[in-house]
């Protein structure tokens, strides 16, 4: 998991706006400190996921409780590290049921070798990211599709194996959840706001976003 980002989701410093990608990379390094080698992948992953939202004042958008965040920090971050408090954010609860369904669906497909609480935390983070209007890697604050692939291969490999068509990950997860629940496959709630919505869902294939 890279420490720096190649995405353009953070504004450049020359614009006078915060450079969130750079801030997230720096904060991620602070959270990690000296990470024990056996848990390096998981620690780097969660540090990046948490930092990406924390520097924006959006920790609540991870979909984790304060207790879950504290436990995550205890398992993976440097001793004594302090996270920002969970500040209320303006959140649209329209798709709350979708986030819950996706979280439980992902958790049910967790790899047996990963920490169960890490898997549940990641399931919540990914489910809530599916509500946002961009590529999944940007919504998560990662560096690209390869980062999402590596994350899913470690935590939810059975779902990765189903992506034989090479679909975008948010589309694949939405499809698999729909098939598992007997619903008509369609876009995730955040998909219509993505720049590639028309590519992933041509007009003839579009169905209403899952709620």
Q: Write out pLDDT tens, residues 7-33.
A: 334 444 555 557 999 999 999 999 998
CB 41 within 8 A of CB 155: no
Q: What is the DSSP letter of 15?
A: G
CB 189 within 8 A of CB 210: yes
Q: What's the rounded Cα separation, in Å, for the pair 99 and 132?
A: 11
Torsion of CA 119, 132, 148, 179, to 10 degrees: 70
Q: How confident is the model at residue 115 (pLDDT cuts 50, 70, 90)?
A: very high
Q: What's the rounded Cα separation, in Å, for the pair 86 and 102?
A: 22
What is the per-residue DSSP string for 40-56?
HHHHHHHHHHHHHHHTT
Residue-level pLDDT at 192: 77
Query: pLDDT by residue (tens digit) across 173-209?
Result: 999 999 999 999 888 888 877 777 777 877 755 555 5
Q: For residues 175-209, b (16+ Cβ closer than 10 Å) or e, as one string?
A: bbbbeeeeeeebbbbbbeebeebeebbeeeeeeeb
Does position 87 have pLDDT exceeding 90, yes or no?
A: no
| Helix (H/G/I), strand (E/B), else coil: 193 | helix
* Cβ count within 10 A of residue 117: 12
Q: What's the rounded Cα separation, in Å, for the pair 48 and 80?
A: 18
Q: Cα 201 to chain center, whole Å?
A: 21
């Amino acid at each position: 998991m890279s420490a720096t980002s190649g995405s353009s989701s953070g504004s450049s410093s020359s614009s006078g706006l915060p450079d969130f990608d750079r801030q997230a990379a720096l904060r991620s390094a602070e959270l990690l400190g000296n990470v024990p080698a056996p848990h390096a992948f998981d620690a780097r992953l969660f540090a990046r996921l948490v930092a990406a939202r924390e520097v924006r004042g959006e920790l609540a958008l991870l979909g984790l409780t304060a207790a879950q965040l504290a436990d995550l920090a205890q398992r993976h971050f440097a001793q004594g590290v302090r996270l920002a408090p969970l500040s209320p954010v303006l959140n649209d609860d329209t798709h709350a049921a979708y986030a819950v369904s996706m979280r439980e669906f992902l958790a049910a497909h967790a790899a047996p070798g990963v920490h169960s609480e890490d898997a549940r935390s990641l399931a919540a983070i990914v489910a809530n990211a599916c509500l946002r209007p961009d590529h999944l890697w940007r919504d998560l604050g990662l560096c690209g599709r390869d980062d999402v692939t590596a994350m899913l291969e470690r935590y939810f490999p059975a779902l990765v194996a189903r992506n034989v068509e090479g679909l975008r990950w948010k589309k694949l997860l939405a499809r698999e959840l729909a098939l598992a629940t007997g619903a008509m496959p369609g876009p995730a709630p955040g998909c219509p706001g993505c720049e590639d919505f028309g590519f992933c869902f041509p007009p003839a294939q579009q169905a209403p976003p899952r709620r």
